[in-house]
Amino acid sequence: MCRVEKSERKREMGGGGGVFKGEKQQQLKSGGGSRMKLWMIRATTSVLLWTCIVQLTAIGETWGPRVLTVWPPCFNRESDAASAIVQDKVPSVPARVLPPKRVYKNNGYLMVSCNGGLNQMRAAICDMVAIARHLNVTLIVPELDKASFWADPSEFQDIFDVDHFITSLRDEVRILKVLPPRLKRRLELGRVYSMPPVSWSDISYYHNQILPLIQKYKVVHLNRTDARLANNGQPLEIQKLRCRVNFSALRFTTQIEELGKRVIRLLRQNGPFLVLHLRYEMDMLAFSGCTQGCNKEEVDELTRMRYAYPWWKEKIINSDLKRKDGLCPLTPEETALTLRALDVDPSIQIYIAAGEIYGGQRRMASLAAAYPRLVRKETLLEPADLRFFQNHSSQMAALDYLVSLESDIFVPTYDGNMAKVVEGHRSWDEFSAAVKEAHADRMGGPSSRMVIPDRPKEEDYFYSNPEECLQPSSFDPLSST
């Protein structure tokens, strides 16, 4: 611009340059306007681009896991190269083949709340899956008990592999993690029909009584779901599905599985081991009223606890009569005598699968004297290994469950849910053949369950004798897992 002005002055001084000067000024004015427009365009474009970047960042935070993160990193060549090297080193894992989705007309949604300990809830989940399938309804991932004695805050996905649970059963029943939004709002407003189903009911009860409620209200919530489906008289496909859920679909989380494997490795390093499910915790004694060996203060404490839980129906219990009826767990002292009577080697490792034993070291003294190699997960593992499991009794019970399945000998001191479900797991070919040979004239093979009309609680438990599941058929869900 300085050069132009100097040239103009020279032309003015030379004369006859006035017209040229005016033209030049117009050109300069025109050029300045063009530059101003160009600057405005650039500024506007910059603002728009910046706005777009801010918006994309916000969208990325919301939708990133689903959309933006799947875009290839166009500019990160080093990451691409590193990824390629890792992929070359890691052997390819065959893609998991999912069963095809079952297509059916959805009659509504079923929510369930389980109650009790881990294995009681496990059995309830199996029953509720079978019921949902039979009624052609969508099952919402079950809610676990948080109000019992253990006060465990764990959710389903904290204990079980929820994605495996959903996908492995997709050919039988549709399972969702949460209700659809329009129905979730109804739940938040407390407008969902809730009820406890009748215990030991036939599947026809759910078809005739529960299904009409689901069709009417769209969502039905079943609470206290333990022991709600009868052992006997159910359609074969229902029984097989119960087995499939229990022995295949209900897989523990990777964290629990890996820690369970570590405990088993530590035990195996020191030879064979016996798992003792010593059911002598405070809640068990309070619920059953079995107080043998307890002092007066302990008896009073257990009685107060029994009255503290209104859903425990029995309040006044004669401990001696209950013991004579065979309804009490073995005490630690009785357990020591029983193991010695069975000629169990005193030098064998005994893994205690249980919570805190009521009465502590005083009650465990005779068992420890007879079998000094008593271990627990707390003694085998470092405190840091269990820090995420503290105050989560169901997750601790899951570890005991995994160790129990791998034990050389499993000894329950009470015929509860844990004992029954572990017994059902041991129905594999080699073990079954050995049992049949050892008990050729007594027991061991698949047999019809005992049926006691009007007394379903005293019948043979379904999961300890899944007779129908062991019968040959064109499709065996157990062999396909």
Q: What is the DSSP string of 217-271?
A: HSEEEEE--TT-B-SSS--HHHHHHHHHIIIII-PBPHHHHHHHHHHHHHHHTT-
Q: Does position 78 have pLDDT exceeding 60, yes or no?
A: no
* Residue of 149 and 414 predicted with greater confidence: 414
Over residues 400-408, mean pLDDT: 96
Dist. CA 12–CA 17, nearest whole Å = 5
Contact 409, 275 (CB under 8 A): yes
- Alpha helix (H) residue ranges in 97-137: 118-135
pLDDT band at 88 (very low <50, low <70, confident <90, very high): very low
Nearest to 449 by CA among 438, 439, 463: 463
Binned at pLDDT 50, 70 and 90, residue 236 comes out as: very high
- In this predicted model, what pLDDT tens digit does every residue of 17-51 receive, in sequence order? 444 344 444 544 455 556 666 666 666 666 566 65
Average of per-residue pLDDT values in the chain:
82
Judge whether residue 400 has pLDDT over 90: yes
The answer, yes or no, to whether residue 479 has pLDDT greater than 70, is: no
**Is pLDDT at 147 greater than 90 in this prediction?**
no
Residue 150 — pLDDT band, cuts 50, 70, 90?
Answer: confident
pTM above 0.85, yes or no: no
pLDDT at 54 over 80: no
In the predicted structure, residue 286 carries a pLDDT above the cut 50: yes
| Residue 215 pLDDT class (50, 70, 90 cuts) | very high
The reported pLDDT for the residue numbered 164 is 97
Tell me yes or no: is domain 255-444 CATH 3.30.1490: no
pLDDT at 148: 78
What average pLDDT does the segment 116-123 reach? 94
Sequence ranges of the domains in the chain: 1-46, 109-249, 255-444
Instruction: Please give the share of the chain, as a percent, with pLDDT higher than 70.
Output: 75
Residue 307 has pLDDT above 90, yes or no: yes
Is domain 109-249 classified as CATH 3.30.420.40? no
CA angle 376, 381, 384 (to 5 degrees): 130
* pLDDT given for residue 478 in this prediction: 45
Query: Is pLDDT of 457 > 50?
Result: yes
